[in-house]
Copies of this chain bind each other. A is one copy, B any other.
Amino acid sequence: MSSDEADAFVTSTDPLHPANLIPELCGGFYRLGWVTGTGGGICIRVGDKVYIAPSGVQKERIEPSHIFVLPYPQSTSSPHTDRIFLRRPKLNLKESACTPLFWNAFDKRNAGSCIHTHSQNAVMATLLWEGDFFEISHQMIKGVRIGGNGPPMSYLDTLRVPIIPNTPFEEDLTESMAAAMDKYPEAAAVLVRRHGIYVWGDDWQKAKTQTECLDYLFEIGVKMKLAGIPTVLNN
């Protein structure tokens, strides 16, 4: 494929085109404090194409021309180490280190989008909940879907978000994230202790609104815990 043909994948006047949306959404995430200092990001999958931001760059300054496009599924058996691209930026950029983690969300939940943040609320939740999961009930959890892609949860449900240990390299979380998704099929996200969170959804809207909803729940949960208020009520 020629370079011009490849650039067409990220060139559109439609503000809702993934190559335009990713920069805009990352700007919003920056203002929320979710992706400061090059951390975090979002990927969007539309059918057989995956749009991914570069690694290690200021997320609020991404441009459409920085976006990587990959085919989905990957025809290689190890997309982790041997990825195929439809389009790479001309600059000396590397695709997001979260790529194999985003792939977990595609493969295991048929997600259309996955968001990774370093939100302080998420990290504080992983510090104050020392077990295998964060949990809360009787809050506005109805914005979260069972498994991230199922029906909405109810106010009366108990939301559990599994917490996995962090590793020095992002890609080394791939297997433990997958294992947590298998062990907690109702979970809409996976927290990484002392690091952040991965949240997915059927499309970018659902991924984004669930990320906001979960972040809200971590924030209120942390406040409750510090104020000595239990976060789970016995039904």
Q: Could you tell me which A residues sit within 8 Å of B by CB distance?
A: 36-39, 57-58, 118, 120, 123-124, 127-128, 138-140, 142-143, 154-156, 166-168, 194-196, 205, 208-210, 212-213, 215-216, 219-220, 223-224, 226-227, 229
A37-B212, A216-B36 known; A138 and B166 CB under 8 Å?
yes
Number of copies of chain A assembled together: 4
Q: Are A138 and B194 neighbours in the complex by a CB distance under 8 Å?
A: yes
Chain B residues in 8 Å Cβ range of A57: 205
Chain B residues in 8 Å Cβ range of A154: 168
Selected from B118, B210, B223, the residue in CB contact (under 8 A) with A216 is B118
Q: Are A37 and B127 neighbours in the complex by a CB distance under 8 Å?
A: no
Q: In the complex the two chains form, what is the Cα distance from A195 to B216 in whole Å?
A: 12
Q: Are A227 and B226 neighbours in the complex by a CB distance under 8 Å?
A: yes
Q: How far is the CB of A135 from chain B (nearest CB, A)?
A: 15
Report the 4 A-B pairs with minimum CB-CB distance, sorted nearest first: A37-B213, A37-B212, A36-B212, A155-B168
**Known A128-B227, A140-B194, A154-B168; further 11 A-B contacts with Cβ < 8 A:** A37-B140, A39-B143, A57-B205, A58-B205, A120-B219, A120-B220, A120-B223, A140-B195, A140-B196, A155-B194, A155-B195
